[in-house]
């Protein structure tokens, strides 16, 4: 069995996910990246992680597909023989931002499968494996971290399906924290705000204006590294008695002001 702790980050080849993978590689984890891109397209991210000292397994996997999730976990077992941390980061925005009076069922179903259903059942499979590891080794320190969004509670009527999917992720955090408590496997949630990634590139001008007008307490875009620091804290085990907790990484957007 692999002696180093192993972390799996879904959607880990770019953006927030890659920032998390880098942070955990620096913490001494070996890394599993799950992403939908062809392996040939992730050569550079994988190289950067190996330069940080991690052994890296890349799994091309769509988390919304049960068979792909099962194949990925089988490969992790075969390669490392263990999995210590799961970061459910993979997610998508609507292909078209549409008013909720006009949005389609197809878009709603797509986001639920990728953003909520896939991570929920991936967590189920990983939780079973973590329980198995805990029973075999009482010193096993597992953890699950869900990356949700401020959209879990902040309504955006131009992307209602995204908001609902992230609200579901937030409840999933509470459910899995409650269920896995008896095994001392904590489950956490990191709730990013306006983070500079490919997903937000199409609305840069909108958010530049809002930030300049005082939307945030800390007047800047968030970076993937900001989210990654919060995940690293949970992965290290810095808050072992805080299962189910949410950390906002949003520049103070959730602070109510007059």
Catalytic residues: 162
Question: Which candidate, 190, 5, 48, places its Cα nearest to that of 58?
Answer: 48
Spatial separation of the C-alpha atoms in residues 19 and 26, rounded to whole Å? 11
118/110 Cα distance (integer angstroms): 11
Q: What's the count of helices (H) and strands (E) in the chain, helices before strands?
A: 8, 7
Kindly write down the DSSP assignment for every residue of 7-42, as one continuous string.
EEEETTTSHHHHHHHHHHHHTT-EEEEEESS-GGGG
CA distance 122 to 87: 10
Structure-block tokens of residue 41: 């397209």
């Amino acid at each position: 069995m692999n002696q180093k702790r192993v972390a799996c980050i879904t959607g880990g080849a770019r953006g927030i996910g890659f920032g998390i993978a880098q942070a955990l590689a620096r913490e001494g984890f070996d890394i599993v990246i799950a992403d939908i891109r062809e392996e040939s397209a992730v050569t550079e991210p994988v190289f950067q992680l190996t330069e940080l000292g991690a052994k890296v397994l890349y799994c091309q996997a769509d988390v919304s597909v049960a068979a792909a999730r099962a194949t990925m976990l089988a490969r992790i077992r075969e390669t490392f023989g263990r999995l210590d941390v799961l970061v459910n980061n993979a997610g998508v925005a609507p292909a078209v931002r549409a008013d909720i009076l006009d949005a389609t069922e197809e878009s709603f179903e797509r986001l639920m499968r990728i953003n909520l259903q896939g991570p929920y059942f991936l967590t189920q499979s990983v939780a079973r494996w973590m329980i198995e590891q805990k029973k075999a080794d009482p010193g096993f320190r597992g953890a699950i971290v869900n990356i949700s969004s401020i959209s879990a509670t902040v309504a955006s009527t131009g992307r209602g399906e995204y908001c609902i999917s992230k609200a579901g992720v937030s409840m999933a955090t509470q459910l899995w924290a409650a269920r896995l408590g008896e095994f001392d496997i904590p489950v956490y949630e990191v709730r990013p705000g306006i983070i500079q990634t490919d997903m937000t590139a199409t609305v840069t001008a909108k958010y530049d204006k809002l930030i300049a007008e005082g939307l945030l307490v800390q007047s800047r875009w968030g970076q993937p590294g900001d989210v990654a620091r919060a995940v690293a804290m949970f992965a290290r085990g810095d808050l072992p008695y805080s299962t189910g907790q949410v950390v906002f990484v949003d520049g103070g957007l959730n602070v109510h002001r007059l």
